Chain A
Amino acid sequence: MHESREHLQTLTEIRSLMERSSKFLSLSGLSGVSAGLIALSGATVVYTRLRTGLFTILHADPEATYTGTNQQDTQQFLVTVAVIILVLALLAGTYFTVRKARRQGLGVWNQSSRRLLWAMAVPLATGGVFCLALLHYNLIWLAFPATLIFYGMALLNGSKYTLRDVESLAYCEIGLGLISLFWPGYNLLTWAIGFGVLHIMYGLAMYYKYERTTA
């Protein structure tokens, strides 16, 4: 009986080693929560600034292109806010993930984290350039669903190298992005749900599922 337990333990250890060596499991739920909060505050800033014109700018006739200085200003403002949100979310996300890895006594910069980053970087960079092209042609409203869709694709691709749960988040982001395509008046709303609410929900779920006991 004693021998059996020993073998069983060996099997468990092998399993954990295989998972740990091929996947980056230190992704923290709090990274998701912080990214979500930052996205929500960004969306609020955009909403308060553009409240009067927002829905008419982004809504109305989706086929229409816009010109003029007002349009130029709006575009510049949106891009600036988007970049600030991205940088802040990345910083906060990295902070919590590094903290979790430290607590687990694991490295952050290893083969599995590099694979995860690369798997996500390719779709994200493609999406980034795609959105720049949309802005170039003044199709601002389309850039909102595009960021959701490409981000979802990046998550889907990256989910192979990290917690499986990321896959569900990916499907939600892609689905929301597709809905948003056909619901052009509510781009900011769907964007806030995708990057804000979904991140917070996912982050809290992950936090309670994997970290609460160890944190």
Chain B
Amino acid sequence: MKNDLLAQFNKAFESKARLSIMSVLMVNDSLSFSALKELLGLTDGNLATHLRALEESGYVAVQKQFVGRKPNTTYSATQPGQQAFADHLNALEEFIRTM
């Protein structure tokens, strides 16, 4: 029983940083790299790595554009990403309830 529930835990959200990134992208349409950094208190390298991992699993979409001459990259949660996040939260909740 417990193992079944654990199986539903999404591997992509294993790290707390990734779970945090997804949770702030769930309530904001899109956020810039610097906004994410300020909110989560992660280092540049750390945040970039986690974002790339989420992007590779198709949970986060990256939009690159220019504001004047400065590159401005924003991130948003994709539809599958939102679904996966909701499933993961449900599994977490279920897990706690059965304890």
The answer to whether A21 touches B92, judged by C-beta atoms less than 8 angstroms apart, is no
Chain A residues near B89 (CB-CB < 8 A): 11, 14
Tell me, yes or no, whether A75 is within 8 Å of chain B by CB. no
A13–B31 CA distance with the chains assembled, in angstroms: 19
Residues of A within 8 A of B95 (CB): 4, 7
- Kindly state the separation between the CA atoms of A111 and B28 in the bound complex, as whole angstroms: 9
Instruction: Say yes or no: A11 contacts B93, CB within 8 Å.
Output: yes
Task: Please give the number of chain A residues whose Cβ is less than 8 angstroms from any Cβ of chain B in the complex.
Answer: 17
Given A4-B96, A18-B26: A10 in contact with B38 (beta carbons within 8 A): no
User: Residues 1-36 of chain B: 1 if any A CB is under 8 Å from the residue's CB, otherwise 0?
Assistant: 000000000000000100110011011100100010
Interface size class on chain B is 10 to 19
Known contacts A4-B99, A10-B16, A110-B38; is-contact A18 B92 (Cβ 8 Å): no
Q: Which residues of B contact A10 (CB under 8 A)?
A: 16, 19, 92
Contact between chains at A14 and B19 (CB < 8 Å): yes
Distance in angstroms from B94 CB to nearest chain A CB is 10
Q: Is B67 an interface residue (CB 8 A)?
A: no
Whether the pair A11, B24 counts as a contact (CB closer than 8 A) is no
- The answer for the CA separation of A110 and B36 in the assembled complex, in Å, is 11
Residue of B nearest to A112 (CB): B28
Once the chains are docked, how many angstroms separate the CA of A11 from the CA of B39?
Answer: 17
Q: Give the A-binding residues of B (Cβ under 8 A).
A: 16, 19-20, 23-24, 26-28, 31, 35, 38-40, 89, 92-93, 95-96, 99
A contact residues vs B (CB 8 Å cutoff): 1, 3-4, 7-8, 10-11, 13-14, 17-18, 20-22, 107, 110-111
